Amino acid sequence: MMLGRTYRSPMVGLGVLFGVTLVGLLVLPFVALAVSTPVADLRAGAEHPLFAPALWLSLRTTLMSLSITVVLGTPLAWWLASSRSRTARVTEVLVDLPIVIPPAVVGVALLETFGRRGLAGPLLESFGVSVPFTGGAVVLAQVVVSSPFFVQAAANAFRKVEPDMLIVARTLGASPVVAFVRVALPIARPGLLVGASLAWARALGEFGATLLFAGNMPGRTQTMPLAIFSALESDVRLAVVFSLVLAAVGVVLLVAIRFAPMLRRSPARGAS
């Protein structure tokens, strides 16, 4: 009899083995990236003419795309979280489309929409507006590929808001907007921060849609992923340095994602 003994399934050991293997496959390439980069190469890479313009363009465009995503995505996420209609469910599926569609396909679709002969091209041209192969195209591509990550996280965060709390706020005289800002947003803030971090990380690493829709022009549309692609054609060491910098930014974002909810709860614990 095995009463009083802890039964341990053989699958536990197998799961640990497979898990260690998978974690190794995930982490080992980044370890190799770090240990294969001498300090001298880092210094040379930072001084390369491609580095500063690409990094600045990436930071500038991703912050712009993140702002657009948050402004447009927050009301959408609230509606998706609070509505039970079939329209909301269909909309939620449509919002998730860029996640499952390859970025290269997204880039071609954007060209067919905003290009000179695209769906909206003639209308934009009548106003003297040209979107493809501009800085605006970089931002637009980043918004399309990254916004689903924010909307998903924000909708899940808003679903944690109890409707009774909003009703109480309304009975106390708060308008719907005030109740949303004073009650719903503080409760959902950790999830919103996580979603914003995920969207920013996705925009920062965007490559395929940007390359096809905005091009790869240094100083104009060449973001860090595109600079890595260009450097790889001539100097592998330079591409490694650029990759290491972008990986470091990703690590910072990952730490922010993991610790943002903890920082949000700390004051409350101290107050209690």
Exposure on the CB side of residue 214, measured as CA atoms within 13 A: 28
Phi-psi group of 257: left, alpha or beta (phi > 0 → left; psi -120 to 50 → alpha; rest → beta): alpha
Question: Is residue 17 in a domain?
Answer: no
Using alpha carbons only, what angle is made at residue 181 by residues 179 and 185, rounded to the nearest 5 degrees? 110
- Is residue 56 in a domain? yes
Q: List the beta strands (DSSP E) in 72-222.
A: none
- Report the 10 Å Cβ neighbour count for 36: 11
Query: Is the pLDDT reported for residue 158 higher than 90?
Result: yes
Yes or no: say if 202 and 146 are a contact pair by the CB < 8 Å rule. Answer: yes
Closest CA to 107 of 207, 40, 175, 198: 207
- Give the model's pLDDT for residue 46: 83
Q: Which residue, among 85, 264, 84, has the nearest Cα to 192 in the 3D structure?
A: 264
DSSP 3-state percent helix, strand, coil across the chain (nearest 5): 80, 0, 20
CA distance 78 to 27: 36
What is the reported pLDDT for 268?
44
In this prediction, residue 5 carries a pLDDT of: 57
- List the single range of 114-118, 159-163, 171-175, 215-219 with lowest mean pLDDT: 171-175
Task: Report residue 1's pLDDT band, with 50, 70 and 90 as the boundaries.
Answer: very low
| More confident: 2 or 245 | 245
Output b/e per residue, 109-146; b: 16+ Cβ within 10 A: bbbebbbeebeebeebeeeeeebbbbbbbbbbbbbbbb
Give me the pLDDT at residue 272, please: 43
DSSP secondary-structure letter at 160? T
Number of domain units in the chain: 1
Q: What residue type is assigned to position 54 of the chain? A: A
pLDDT at 156: 94
Over range 147-164, report the average pLDDT. Answer: 93
Q: Kindly tell me if the per-residue pLDDT of 147 is higher than 90.
A: yes
Number of Cβ within a 10 Å radius of residue 202: 24
- Comparing 6-10, 116-120, 122-126, 154-158, which segment has the lowest mean pLDDT? 6-10
For the segment 182-223, what is each residue's pLDDT rounded down to a tens digit?
889 999 998 999 899 899 999 999 999 999 999 999 989 999
Instruction: Inform me whether the pLDDT recorded for 71 exceeds 90.
Output: yes
The secondary structure element, H or E, covering residue 153 is helix 135-158
Residue 28 located in a structural domain: no
> Is 36 contained in some domain?
no
Using a pLDDT cut of 90, give the percent of the chain over it: 48
Q: Is the pLDDT of residue 13 over 80?
A: no
Tracing tokens 């890595």 back to the chain, one arrives at: 228
Residue bearing tokens 């003994």: 5
Q: Is residue 15 part of a domain?
A: no
> Where is average pLDDT lowest: 36-40, 52-56, 85-89?
36-40
Answer whether residue 170 is part of any domain. Answer: yes
Specify if 70 maps to a domain: yes
For position 118, which CATH number holds?
1.10.3720.10
Q: Which two tokens stand for residue 180?
A: 């949303």
In a domain, 7, yes or no: no
Range of the domain at 192: 50-262
Q: Is the pLDDT of residue 44 over 90?
A: no
Q: How far apart are CA 85 and CA 187, in angstroms?
A: 24
- Give the chain's mean pLDDT: 87
